[in-house]
């Protein structure tokens, strides 16, 4: 059995009941121990597929043990393998003579679409001799069959048993209230269905049903709505973070622009100072040139004065010389 699943170390022989050990008595001690541990593992597994694998391993080692076939049938039923479940439960029934699993057999027939066969099991003579818990389970199956047939009112009537209203809580009360709520929904009686699902929530301490989710649906709240609300809150939070980041970016950009403006003003101030310096230099050069021009004009004026003096001296010299032609005519 190299392909057999490994049995958890936490599962031991001590967890087997005396009745189970007795039914495995025809096996060798070692084989009985392994089969028994597989059966316990299948019962404890929370994953239906894993439970099915444990049950299959037990079945391969003890095909002729009625209890093992029943466990195998239950595991197949819980994974929706209707034909296999029906076959295994029928085999277990023949080997043990027990009718405890008639409800699962009837529901498997329903799962296969054979509603008439399912109803035959529900109303069989063997069903009437079952414990009350099994009879309630058969009523739940019948209600589902009636809904499949489109007989909503008949589905409601099938579940109107004394235990529905006597106020007592039983291990199967949650399943009864839940099935009744489903039947009322099919019959269009939403308010009564809401009350039934509310009672199922209270009775379902082990959360075997999804009564709370069904109640939320009736109140207009779905799991998808709650998830979308969570997503909206996350998106809003992300948007707020993005807005804060944008504001920070804007602040940074404003600071950068302010710094650039300051730099531009400094550059302009530098340019103004350069321009003023150039203007001062130009003024100094102009003043120097004007001074040079004034000096040149003064020099030219001095030269003119010197020329005038020379002309005056020349005239004076001419006046002092005798006429070369003789005395003047006045003396004649």
Between 76-85, 157-166, 213-222, the lowest mean confidence (pLDDT) is in 213-222
What is the count of structural domains for the chain? 2
State pLDDT tens for residues 136-147. Answer: 999 999 999 999
On average, the pLDDT of the chain sits at 81
Task: Indicate whether 19 pLDDT > 80.
Answer: yes
State pLDDT tens for residues 205-241. Answer: 999 999 999 999 998 865 555 566 556 666 665 666 6
pLDDT at site 329 = 34
Domain limit, last residue, from 183, 211, 239: 211
**Coil vs helix vs strand at 115:** helix
pLDDT band per the 50, 70, 90 thresholds, residue 319: very low
Residue 86 lies inside a defined structural domain of this protein: yes
d(CA 243, CA 237): 10
- Looking at the structure, tell me whether residues 62 and 156 fall in a common domain: no
d(CA 175, CA 196): 11
- Looking at the structure, tell me whether residues 116 and 195 fall in a common domain: yes
d(CA 270, CA 153): 97
Task: Indicate whether 45 pLDDT > 90.
Answer: yes
pLDDT band per the 50, 70, 90 thresholds, residue 271: very low
pLDDT at site 241 = 60
Domain carrying residue 106: 99-211
Average pLDDT over residues 244-252: 62
Residue 304 lies inside a defined structural domain of this protein: no
- Looking at the structure, tell me whether residues 71 and 136 fall in a common domain: no
Residue 197 lies inside a defined structural domain of this protein: yes
State pLDDT tens for residues 182-192. Answer: 999 999 999 99
Residue 222 lies inside a defined structural domain of this protein: no
Q: How many residues does the structure list for the chain? A: 332
Of 193 and 322, the one with more pLDDT: 193
Q: What is the DSSP letter of 130?
A: S
d(CA 78, CA 33): 25
State pLDDT tens for residues 250-263. Answer: 666 556 655 555 55
- Looking at the structure, tell me whether residues 205 and 106 fall in a common domain: yes
State pLDDT tens for residues 281-316. Answer: 555 544 555 445 444 444 444 445 444 544 444 444
Domain limit, last residue, from 79, 97, 115: 97
- Looking at the structure, tell me whether residues 141 and 162 fall in a common domain: yes
Task: Indicate whether 67 pLDDT > 50.
Answer: yes
Between 34-48, 52-66, 95-109, 215-229, the lowest mean confidence (pLDDT) is in 215-229
Between 12-21, 95-104, 294-303, the lowest mean confidence (pLDDT) is in 294-303
pLDDT at site 3 = 80
Q: Check which CATH number belongs to the domain holding 36 and give it.
A: 1.25.40
> Of 102, 164, 107, which Cα lies nearest the Cα of 135?
102
Task: Indicate whether 164 pLDDT > 60.
Answer: yes
d(CA 323, CA 77): 170
């Amino acid at each position: 059995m190299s392909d057999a699943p490994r049995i958890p170390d936490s599962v031991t022989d001590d967890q087997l009941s005396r009745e189970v050990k007795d039914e495995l008595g025809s096996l060798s001690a070692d084989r009985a121990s392994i089969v028994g541990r597989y059966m316990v593992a299948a019962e404890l597994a929370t994953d239906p597929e894993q439970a099915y694998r444990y049950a299959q391993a037990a079945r391969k080692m003890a095909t002729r043990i009625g209890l093992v076939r029943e466990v195998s049938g239950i595991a197949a039923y819980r994974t929706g393998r209707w034909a296999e479940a029906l076959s295994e439960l029928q085999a277990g029934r023949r080997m043990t003579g027990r009718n405890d699993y008639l409800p699962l057999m009837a529901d498997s027939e329903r799962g296969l679409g054979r509603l008439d066969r399912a109803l035959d099991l529900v109303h069989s003579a063997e069903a009437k001799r079952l414990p009350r818990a099994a009879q309630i389970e058969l009523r739940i199956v019948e209600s589902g069959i009636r809904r499949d047939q489109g007989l909503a009112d008949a589905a409601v009537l099938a579940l109107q048993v004394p235990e529905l209203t006597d106020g007592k809580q039983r291990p199967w009360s949650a399943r009864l209230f839940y099935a009744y709520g489903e039947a009322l929904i099919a019959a269009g009686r939403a308010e009564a269905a809401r009350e039934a699902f509310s009672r199922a929530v209270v009775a379902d301490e082990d959360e075997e049903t999804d009564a709370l989710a069904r109640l939320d649906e009736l109140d207009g709240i779905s799991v998808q709505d709650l998830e979308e609300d969570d997503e909206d809150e996350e998106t809003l939070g992300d948007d707020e973070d993005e807005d804060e980041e944008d504001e920070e970016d804007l602040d940074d950009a404003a600071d950068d622009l302010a710094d650039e403006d300051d730099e531009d003003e400094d550059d302009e101030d530098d340019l103004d100072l350069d321009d003023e310096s150039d203007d001062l230099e130009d003024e100094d050069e102009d003043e120097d040139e004007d001074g040079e021009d004034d000096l040149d004009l003064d020099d030219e004026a001095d030269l003119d004065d010197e020329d005038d003096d020379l002309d005056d001296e020349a005239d004076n010299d001419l006046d002092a010389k005798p006429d070369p032609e003789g005395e003047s005519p006045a003396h004649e």
